[in-house]
Amino acid sequence: MTIHDEMKKRRTFAIISHPDAGKTTMTEKMLLLGNLIRSAGTVKGKKSGKFATSDWMEIEKQRGISVTSSVMNFPYKDYQVNILDTPGHEDFSEDTYRTLTAVDSVVMVIDGTKGIEAQTLKLFKVCKMRGIPIFTFINKMDREGREPFELMEEIEETLNIETYPMTWPAGMGKRFLGVFDRNNEEFVRFTGNEEETYIPYDELDQHPDLTEQATYQEAKDEMALLDEAGDEFDMEKVLKGDQTPVFFGSALAPFGVETFFNSFIDMAPEPAPRKSTEGIVSPDNEEFSGFIFKIQANMNPQHRDRIAFVRICSGKFERGMNVTLSRTGKTFKLAQSTQFVASSRGTVEEGYAGDIIGIYDPNVYRIGDTIVTGKSKYEYDELPQFPPELFKKVTAKNVMKSKQFRKGLEQLVQEGAIQLFKRYRFEDYIIGAVGELQYEVFEYRMKNEYNVDVELTPMGERIPRWLREDQVDESLFDERNMLAQDREGNPLVLFKNDFSLRWFEDKHPDIELTDLFEVNQYNQAFE
């Protein structure tokens, strides 16, 4: 098959939601459909001893949450599927935002009992800003929850997007009978076990035990209302992110996931052209290119490895090929390449636009790096960077382990979940993070992966502002407004609060303070 044919088979998407809405459970069911696993373990599988395949880090299994973006590749029907399961916890927003740069569409999972929650709204705004097509799955219909019309209205008003129900539920909770599949014109019957019964519309009169129930009749009247007064389905709007196809079901049951997945996989967009510093790059361009959106250390703790996750944007990847790192102009041979089901991996020999592959990182790659073949040295759009909100001093409890401490610190910082600073002219390390959970994960991983116990001393919230090297006057700073350096050695000030920052600006108008994060358009989305 040609590069063009292979590219058209790719479906690369992320699953986003608020914590506990059922995102990881949904991912598991898709893996089950792709024959990748024999039985699905829910995230909260502590009692049963089954853990979700997409949660590979030990702390995720213990706490029943996803804190890293997992990547899963598998064939399904005539397609090659790449699912990115993102962390739902807001402290790991950065990882999720970067992941959204690597996908062509998203599946938004909404809890039918709660509706749209804070984290769903934040992630939706990023998708909207990037024009990513959004497909909605309203989960937990086998529980008593909010009325479907109410949920649809909330989606339209809160997210400012049209809705088009591709499936429509008959009842909920104990009265849940199944869904009308408007796309395939059949009723999918919920039996309470894993089997789904598909009844074409023209055969429904043969099932009076179903059609004569008041719940069924009520849903049929609602369907008539939708046909009469609802929005028209418009694929062009879907692809622009202005309309979301909505599906109902229960990932845990599981019910409605296969119906959803079959429709979604046909409707979801193939890889699209991408912006670079040298203009638009087409996915079927002959020359290989891709960008690194995630780096993960110690996915295999026995080998202390670092894997850089690459979204292929054009051409054909072949194991052993030489690529140029655009940022430095240096050439590397990609001899070790992998594809994943969470932490399980297999060597991948080739890949095409849309595929997500892992390449061995000999400590040279950074998040956002572009790799290319041929004479071009272009780079893809910068990935978003977010200002840390909390700061803590970090030291090793055992000074004899300073070497492991520095190595662990360096590697975990390169993954992008925490940011590293040093006190100016001192060896005092300071780490900044978006939320408290990131510190817990950092502490856990330092102990378990680098055998180092760390001490974290809170500094509270700080406001980072950079300044020019020639304007550094150490006598102007103290503990309250601390002079520091970022990991590149650039000087900055960690101001105690907004008042301290304004006071300093009034007192020293000649000193130029820069917010390196304000250049990022993403920040405005989360005000």
**What is the gyration radius of the CA atoms in the chain, in angstroms?**
25
Find out whether 231 is annotated in a ligand binding site. no
User: Is residue 23 within 8 Å of residue 119, measured between CB atoms?
Assistant: no
Whether the CB-CB separation of 514 and 508 falls below 8 Å is answered with no
Q: Binding residue per annotation — 46?
A: no
432 is in an annotated binding site: no
Tell me the CB-side half-sphere exposure of residue 360, using CA atoms within 13 A. 16
Of the candidates 354, 527, 517, the one whose C-alpha atom is nearest the C-alpha of residue 432 is: 517
Residue 261's identity, in one-letter code, is F
How distant, in Å, are the alpha carbons of 6, 284, 292, 412 from that of 2? 6, 9, 25, 39
**How far is residue 311 from each of residues 9, 297, 343, 355, measured CA to CA in Å?**
15, 18, 18, 6
Residue 139's nearest CA partner among 156, 120, 115 is 115
The span from the CA of 472 to the CA of 476, in Å, is 9
- Judged on CB neighbours under 10 Å (0-12, 13-18, 19+), 336 is middle
**How many whole angstroms separate alpha carbon 226 and alpha carbon 164?**
9
230 marked as part of a ligand binding site: no
Chain Cα centroid distance, residue 429: 29
Q: Is 139 annotated as a binding residue?
A: yes
Query: Which DSSP string corresponds to 490-501?
Result: -EEEEESSHHHH
256: alpha, beta or left, given left = phi > 0 and alpha = psi -120 to 50? Answer: left
Ligand-binding site membership of 172 (annotated): no
Query: Is residue 75 part of an annotated ligand binding site?
Result: no
Q: Is 85 annotated as a binding residue?
A: yes
Euclidean distance between CA atoms 149 and 170, whole angstroms? 12
Give the other-Cβ count within 10 Å of 58's Cβ.
Answer: 14
User: DSSP string of 41-62?
Assistant: PPTT-TTTT---TT--SHHHHH
Q: Which is nearest to 123 in space by CA: 99, 149, 143? A: 99
Asked if residue 142 belongs to a known ligand binding site, the reply is yes
- Coil vs helix vs strand at 389: coil
Distance CA 182, CA 194 (A): 22
b/e map 390-424, b = 16+ CB within 10 Å: bbbebebeeeebeebbeebbebbbbbbbbbbbebb
Residue whose pair of structure tokens reads 């991408």 in the numeric block: 274
Nearest alpha carbon to residue 410 among 337, 462, 488, 492:
488
Amino acid at 366: R
Task: Name the residue among 144, 177, 404 with its Cα closest to residue 298.
Answer: 404
Q: Annotated binding residue at 17?
A: yes
| 23 annotated to a ligand binding site | yes
Q: Is 5 annotated as a binding residue?
A: no
Q: What are phi and psi of 175, to 5 degrees?
A: -95, 5
Residue 86 annotated in ligand binding: yes
Residues 260 and 297: their CA atoms lie apart, in Å, by: 34
Q: Report whether 21 belongs to an annotated binding site.
A: yes
Check the annotation: does 20 bind a ligand.
yes
Binding residues: 17-24, 85-89, 139-142
Binding residues for GTP: 17-24, 85-89, 139-142
